[in-house]
């Protein structure tokens, strides 16, 4: 299957992002082979799946994620901001999402950190991935290069990827120095030349975040190997299903 579909924070175009509702809705689509999720640590060291460093936008709580315990965060409503239909959706733990995804989809797990914000985040995530034997079914990504270095120090076999919304001239060299085999890049930065350089270096590329058919087709024209990260898997389906055959077993890359 070309230009694999990556559901951004789950099926976040229709369900509240980074909730079990969004993940179940994404997995229900036979062509969704990847999901992108965001992970931070609670005050008591539990990896939770939420994008913002603050609770304010996507829950009925307030303040920073890192200042609340898992019990406090799990009591919050993380769904009604999107729609009353999702009243009562919770912020899930990483473990809940791994349990749901295991054997069904691969995960791009973004380590949401900066500097020393979350000591122990990388090990906490890797330990839980290992408990589900999903080391080959995940890539750990981050804007923070230090987090990627720490992942490789803990487990050199875990795939890592840099997140960037730019195209510096030394991008390939930077990825190689970090031992990254994956690049998550803002889609306007991609063109044929860069895609070819990355392909030649053995780096898997994901373009984000693409919600309309025209931009999806532009990425497909650049290379069939570019993963397309989208809030709208339904748009991906309408754009590509005529030229792709559905893989009932969700064949992995």
Nearest to 31 by CA among 53, 61, 1, 66: 1
Choice among 8, 74, 187, 192 that is catalytic = 8
Sign of the torsion formed by the C-alpha atoms of 121, 123, 126 and 128 = negative
Q: Which residue has the tokens 């406090």?
A: 72
Q: What is the CA radius of gyration of the chain?
A: 17
- Euclidean distance between CA atoms 251 and 208, whole angstroms: 22
Among this protein's residues, is 51 annotated catalytic?
yes
CB neighbourhood size of 164 (10 A): 17
Asked if 178 and 147 touch (Cβ cutoff 8 Å), the reply is no
Among this protein's residues, is 133 annotated catalytic?
no
Choice among 51, 68, 74, 187 that is catalytic = 51
- Euclidean distance between CA atoms 73 and 82, whole angstroms: 18
The number of angstroms, rounded, from the C-alpha of 133 to the middle of its chain's C-alpha atoms is 18
H or E, element range at 106: strand 106-111
Supply the residues annotated as catalytic: 8, 51
């Amino acid at each position: 299957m070309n230009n694999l579909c990556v559901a951004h924070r789950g099926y976040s175009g229709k369900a509240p992002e980074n909730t079990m509702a969004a993940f179940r809705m994404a997995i229900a689509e036979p062509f969704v082979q990847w999901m992108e999720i965001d992970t931070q640590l609670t005050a008591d060291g539990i990896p939770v799946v939420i994008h913002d460093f603050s609770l304010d936008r996507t829950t009925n709580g307030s303040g920073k994620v890192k200042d609340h315990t898992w019990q406090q965060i799990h009591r919050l409503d993380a769904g009604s901001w999107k729609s009353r239909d999702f009243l009562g959706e919770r912020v899930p733990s990483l473990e809940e999402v791994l349990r749901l995804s295991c054997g069904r989809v691969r995960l791009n797990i973004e380590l949401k950190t900066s500097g020393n914000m979350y000591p122990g985040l990388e090990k906490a995530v890797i330990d839980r991935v290992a408990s589900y034997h999903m080391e080959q079914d995940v890539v750990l990504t981050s804007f923070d290069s230090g987090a990627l270095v720490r992942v490789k120090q803990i487990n050199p076999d875990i795939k890592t990827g840099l997140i960037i919304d730019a195209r510096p001239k030394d991008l390939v060299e930077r990825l190689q120095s970090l031992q990254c085999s994956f690049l998550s890049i803002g889609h306007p930065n991609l063109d044929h030349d860069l895609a070819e350089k990355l392909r030649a270096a053995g780096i898997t590329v994901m373009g984000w975040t693409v919600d309309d058919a025209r931009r999806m087709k532009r990425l497909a024209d650049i290379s069939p190997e570019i993963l397309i990260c989208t809030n709208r898997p339904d748009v991906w389906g309408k754009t590509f299903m005529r030229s792709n055959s559905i893989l009932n077993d969700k064949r992995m890359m």
